[in-house]
C-alpha cells in the first residue's frame, strides 16, 4: 500500500552518501532538493555544501537543484555553488525531473535524486523512474504544511523500516 512512497535508500545525511561509489556504478548526474537536504530551511550554501559540489565536479558528476521554492531562494543558495537549477518545480510532478536530466545530459538509468521529503522528492523521482535517496531532514523547524506531511511520512517510514528488517531476516 505504501510501497509507492518507499525510497530506494534512506540515509542519515546527504554528506555521507558515497558518491565515488555511485560514479563507479555508472551514475553521472545528481539532482538535489535544497532545504533540509543540503542546508537548513532558507539557509545559504555553507562550507559543506560548497565542498560537496566541488567534490561532485571533481568526480565527474553533473548536478542540478530542483526546488518548489521561488527563484530568489534557489538563486541565493546557488550563488556560490554555481550549478544548474530549476525553481518552482511543482514536485512531485515529473516535468522538472525530466528537465533536470535534459540540462545535465543524463537519463533515468544514470541519474540519482537526493531529497528529504517522501511525498514530493522521493515520489516524484520514483514516478519519473530515477533512483532516489531519502535523507533525514537537517533541521526540525519547518513550515506548517511540511510539519503536517512529516506526520504522514512517519507512518510510511515505519512500514518501510519494517519491510527492510523483514527482508534482511530472510
Q: Alpha-carbon distance 135 to 6, whole Å?
A: 12
- Considering the entire predicted model, what is its pTM? 0.88
**Strand, helix or coil at 160?**
helix
Q: What is the pLDDT of residues 72-85, one digit of tens each?
A: 999 999 999 999 99
Q: What is the pLDDT of residues 70-128, one digit of tens each?
A: 999 999 999 999 999 999 999 999 999 999 999 999 999 999 999 999 989 999 999 99
Measured in residues, the chain has a length of 170
Task: Indicate the number of domains in the chain.
Answer: 1
Q: Tell me which residue range forms the domain holding 39.
A: 3-169
Q: What is the pLDDT of residues 26-43, one digit of tens each?
A: 999 999 999 999 999 899
Looking up residue 133, the CATH number of its domain turns out to be 3.40.50.1000
Buried b (16+ CB within 10 A) or exposed e, 60-98: ebbbbbbbbbeeebbeebbeebebbbbbebebbeeebbe
**Strand, helix or coil at 163?**
helix
Amino acid at each position: 500500500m505504501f510501497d509507492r512512497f518507499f525510497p530506494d535508500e534512506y540515509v542519515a545525511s546527504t554528506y555521507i552518501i558515497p558518491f565515488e561509489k555511485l560514479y563507479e556504478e555508472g551514475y553521472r548526474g545528481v539532482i538535489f532538493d535544497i532545504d533540509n537536504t543540503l542546508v537548513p530551511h532558507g539557509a545559504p550554501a555553507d562550507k559543506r555544501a560548497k565542498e560537496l559540489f566541488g567534490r561532485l565536479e571533481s568526480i565527474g558528476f553533473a548536478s542540478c537543484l530542483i526546488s518548489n521554492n521561488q527563484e530568489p531562494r534557489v538563486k541565493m543558495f546557488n550563488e556560490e555553488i554555481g550549478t544548474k537549477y530549476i525553481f518552482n518545480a511543482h514536485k512531485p510532478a515529473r516535468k522538472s525531473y525530466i528537465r533536470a536530466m535534459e540540462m545535465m545530459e543524463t537519463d533515468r538509468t544514470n541519474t540519482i535524486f537526493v531529497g528529504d521529503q517522501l511525498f514530493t522528492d522521493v515520489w516524484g523521482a520514483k514516478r519519473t523512474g530515477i533512483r532516489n535517496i531519502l535523507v533525514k531532514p537537517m533541521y526540525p523547524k519547518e513550515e506548517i504544511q511540511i510539519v503536517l506531511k512529516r506526520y504522514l511520512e512517519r507512518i510510511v517510514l515505519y512500514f518501510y523500516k519494517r519491510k527492510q528488517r523483514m527482508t534482511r531476516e530472510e
